[in-house]
Amino acid sequence: MTNDLSSLRNQYEELKALGLSLDIQRGQPADENFALSHGMLTCVGPADIVSPSGVGLCNYPGGLAGIAEARELFAEVLDIEADETLVGNNSSLKLLSDTLMWALLRGLREGEAPWNSEPRKMIVTVPGYDRHFTLLESLGFEMPTVPMTTEGPDLDAVEALALDPSVYGIVFVPTYSNPTGDTISAANVARLAAMPTANPAFTILADDAYRIHHLSDDRHEPSNLLRACEAAGNPDRVVLLGSTSKVTFAGAGLGFLGTSRANLARLTQLMGSEYIGPNKLEQYRHVKFLRAYPNGLEGLMADHAKLLRPKFEAVGQVLNRELGGTGLARWTDPKGGYFVSLDTTRPVAKRVVALAAEAGVTLTPAGASYPHRLDPGDSNLRIAPTRPPIQEVETGMAALALCVKLASAEYDAEHG
Ligand SMILES: Cc1ncc(COP(=O)(O)O)c(C=O)c1O
């Protein structure tokens, strides 16, 4: 098949004539993934209204940090202790935003000044997660960017930025990053934990949303940030976040947070002024279901991987077939998480998204992986293959590849 402009335009018209209607923009589980947790809908009954540790699940008392059984379970996920773990309601993003809001109002640690200086800055990695950017922007943080590398955040850049006293920390995804799939190396964990910072409030907000989301036995597991900070003499530097949004139900799971005991005492005190406690019945339902799942959480995640791996393989196969060797794009081959990140060689990401939309394929908006939706290279595209059926992933990827070819040929024709 020739790839000159007029031939690509013909192929594109043929694509449009198919009348596709595909959505590969958001990282959501598929219904088969949710089905793995349907047992959770019926696993509790009237016999379960008191937890094994003796907490009445229907009444208020029980504490802000969650029931003991849930704290134990999610401490295992974060590889920390139960009394360093808070389990909340659904959404780790909500826990992140509560943490930041309290830090802005009162300081994160006892005696710390509120983080409301002007300017106030939070380092972010790019390409990164759009909702981090939206949240930080809403809270008035400037967002100096550092590249996400295959070893995690570019630490030379982070260390340089941390010398600015208006920088309050870094938000990033340590494991199978959204969207690149990269995991922070042990060396970078140690550097982040120990580096000098001009602002004593500097906090590592590590959103470990994909910590247990391996796609195969080639597991990438970051070394322990909380223990590394402790060892470096900065025990209160890190807040870890996670959730079961891609484990059980995306909209009806549990969020959790891990940090030093001192930080946790402070956060539970502040959050305790907001509400009496999280939904304990939901927490117990999760614990009961996940502990009883064959081989526990590990078993459930392996079952998710069986459903998800073929979709990621399909992305790789179609992109290799259609774009391999063309020099028009490069893309990631993630070992876990929820996304593939593709960079076009030419600055055509917006054009690719527009062409795909016209052909009935909805992609994540170009620029979404950068603060303020401003991708300086106009090159990054986030591919989210988890929710659509595999045939749709294949069709969508072939359409995407054609749009990359056409947009690049248009660009070359215009720029000579
Ligand atoms: C990195 C990252 N953090 C957080 C979330 C959302 O988490 P939650 O549903 O727990 O708020 C997502 C969802 O895509 C994500 O990719």
Centre of ligand 1 from the C-alpha of residue 367, in Å: 18
Considering only CA atoms, which of 7, 63, 402, 339 is closest in space to residue 177? Answer: 339
User: Which of the listed residues 77, 96, 98, 178 should we mutate to test ligand 1's pocket, taking the one with most ligand atoms within 8 A of CB?
Assistant: 178
Same domain, 122 and 241: yes
Asked if residues 20 and 272 have their Cβ atoms less than 8 Å apart, the reply is no
User: Does residue 37 belong to any structural domain of this protein?
Assistant: no
pLDDT tens digits for 174-211? 999 999 999 999 999 999 999 999 999 999 999 999 99
Same domain, 304 and 274: no
Residue at a domain's end among 257, 292, 327? 292
Same domain, 161 and 209: yes
pLDDT tens digits for 105-147? 999 999 999 999 999 999 999 999 999 999 999 999 999 999 9
DSSP per residue, 124-186: EEES--HHHHHHHHHTT-B--EEEEETTEE-HHHHHHHTTSTTEEEEEE--SS-TTT-----H
Residue in this structure with the two tokens 């009237």, named with its chain if needed: 46
- Helix 130-138 to helix 92-106 angle (10° resolution) is 30
Residue at a domain's end among 248, 265, 292? 292
The structural domain count of the chain equals: 2
Q: What is the CATH number of the domain that holds 370?
A: 3.90.1150.10
Q: Which residues line ligand 1 (CB under 6 A)?
A: 27, 91-93, 129, 173, 178, 207, 209, 243, 245, 255
The span from the CA of 50 to the CA of 358, in Å, is 55
User: Does residue 38 belong to any structural domain of this protein?
Assistant: no
User: Which residue CA neighbors atom 11 of ligand 1 most closely?
Assistant: 91
User: Does residue 39 belong to any structural domain of this protein?
Assistant: no
Centre of ligand 1 from the C-alpha of residue 69, in Å: 23
- Helix 390-415 to helix 296-323 angle (10° resolution) is 40
Same domain, 259 and 309: no
Q: What is the CATH number of the domain that holds 141?
A: 3.40.640.10
Range of the domain at 154: 47-292
Centre of ligand 1 from the C-alpha of residue 416, in Å: 42
Phi, psi of 265 (to 5 degrees): -60, -45
The span from the CA of 381 to the CA of 46, in Å, is 48
User: Which residue CA neighbors atom 14 of ligand 1 most closely?
Assistant: 27
Q: What is the reported pTM?
A: 0.97
Q: Quote the percentage of the chain above a pLDDT of 90.
A: 98
Q: CA-CA distances (angstroms) from residue 309 to 289, 313, 386?
A: 24, 6, 9
Which pLDDT does position 2 carry in this prediction?
Answer: 60
Instruction: Report the run of H or E that residue 9 belongs to, with start and end.
Output: helix 5-17
Same domain, 263 and 287: yes
